[in-house]
Amino acid sequence: MRYQTASAAQTIALGKKLAKTFRGGEVIALFGELGAGKTTLVKGIAAGLGIRKVITSPTFLLMRVYPARHKKIQTLVHLDCYRIKNATEISALGLAEYLGRDDAVVVIEWPERIKKLLPRRRLEIRLQLSQQSKKHLITTPYHGTNTWR
């Protein structure tokens, strides 16, 4: 699927729509250059899960965990791997305890830096900025299956 958004507000709205399809246990890998809208999309996902806190990129903390207000999903885990040099740096953060949990959604920015830790079943979303400063969102299905779970 391919979506085009022309503003941060539209990217947030798209994130909200995406969150409504979640059932719990999803791992979302966000690919894109700096400024492509990855954190903006996470803001929409968080809003769609009923999270009212201000969502910021966890670049320096690496991982933030937010309690969600959703019928099935209790936790949103937001990981930013931009500063990660190798996958072993992530192990100490406790990411493994959230992966695959039916009451959690894990969203990973810069997932290419921790390829070895990514589950086979995941949704990959690629964000790009066009020359007209519009954001493009291209999604591919979960790896390993054509269904969400």
Please list, in sequence order, all residues whose beta carbon lies within 8 angstroms of the beta carbon of residue 72, skipping any fewer than 6 positions away.
23, 24, 102, 103
User: CA angle 48-20-110, nearest 5°?
Assistant: 70
Question: Which pLDDT tens digit goes with each residue over 4-56?
Answer: 888 899 999 999 999 999 999 999 999 999 988 999 999 999 999 999 999 98
User: Which CATH superfamily groups domain 2-140?
Assistant: P-loop containing nucleotide triphosphate hydrolases (3.40.50.300)
Spatial separation of the C-alpha atoms in residues 132 and 92, rounded to whole Å: 41
Closest C-alpha among 86, 79, 87 to residue 38: 79
Question: Which pLDDT tens digit goes with each residue over 100-147?
Answer: 899 999 999 999 999 888 898 899 999 988 766 566 666 665 555 444
Spatial separation of the C-alpha atoms in residues 81 and 90, rounded to whole Å: 8
Question: Which pLDDT tens digit goes with each residue over 85-95?
Answer: 877 788 778 88
Give, in order, the Cα–Cα distances in Å from 125 to each of 21, 29, 78, 122, 138. 15, 6, 15, 10, 6
DSSP-assigned beta bridge partners for residue 18 = none
Domain extents in the chain: 2-140
pTM of the model: 0.88
